[in-house]
Amino acid sequence: MDLYSGHINRLIDELASLPGIGGKSAQRLAFYIINLPKDRVKKLADTITSARENVHYCKVCCTLTDEDICPICGNQNRNHKLIMVVENARDLAAYEKTGKFEGVYHVLHGAISPMLGIGPGDIRLAELMQRLQTEDVEEVIVATNSSLEGETTAMYISKLIKPTGIKVTRIASGVPVGGDLEYIDEVTLLRALEGRTEL
């Protein structure tokens, strides 16, 4: 038996479909939204719609932005000769929180996973190789997760880049095997960055 009317149930179901939101959290959020003033609800809905319509990939690094080039790529004070390759925008944000990395990024939006049918053509590797041909890059730091998929992707990237003569390094241990970068504290991330090794 449904406890609530159709509109409430649909709102709870939609919220519960979001990653990291379980049934109880969805219910709590649904009632919070329903009890907000109508202008706040409209602002929330408009903000979600606007973000979905206006956010796209940066033309340089493939992170999410609402401009042609993201603020990091557009910052001339960053070291554009040093590129850190990460799996997703959340990993980029995790490294930015350390405040210590002065280079730029490239976001793959995934990792190679033959088991899931994700090959090199399904992630942003072609864009990375294009950057390396058109920009003056001295080092590429591969900062993929310490999972089977992350390690596979790191080795693939290393094999692609090595023939170009560009130095390729991998973030050091300190990041636990199977751990996702977005959940790791800044000190561990910084140690992994400083202790990177050449592939």
Mean pLDDT of 24-43: 95
Residue-level pLDDT at 180: 76
Mean pLDDT of 61-73: 94
Mean pLDDT of 144-163: 90
In 3D space, the residue among 91, 87, 106, 107 whose CA is nearest the CA of residue 189 turns out to be 91
Distance CA 86, CA 88 (A): 6
Residue-level pLDDT at 174: 65
Distance CA 183, CA 164 (A): 33
Distance CA 142, CA 196 (A): 9
128 has pLDDT over 70: yes
pTM: 0.77
> Which amino acid, one-letter code, is at 183?
Y
In 3D space, the residue among 101, 81, 126 whose CA is nearest the CA of residue 194 turns out to be 101
pLDDT in tens, 85-99: 999 999 999 999 988
Residue-level pLDDT at 187: 65
Residue-level pLDDT at 1: 43
For residue 48, report the phi and psi dihedrals to the nearest 5 degrees.
Answer: -65, -45
Structure tokens at 56: 């796209």
Strand intervals (E) in the chain: 56-57, 64-65, 79-86, 103-107, 139-142, 167-170, 197-198
- Domains of the chain in start order, with CATH, are 6-54 (1.10.8.420), 64-198 (3.40.1360.10)
Query: Which sign does the torsion angle of CA 25, 29, 30, 31 carry?
Result: positive
Residue 106 banded pLDDT, cuts 50, 70, 90? very high
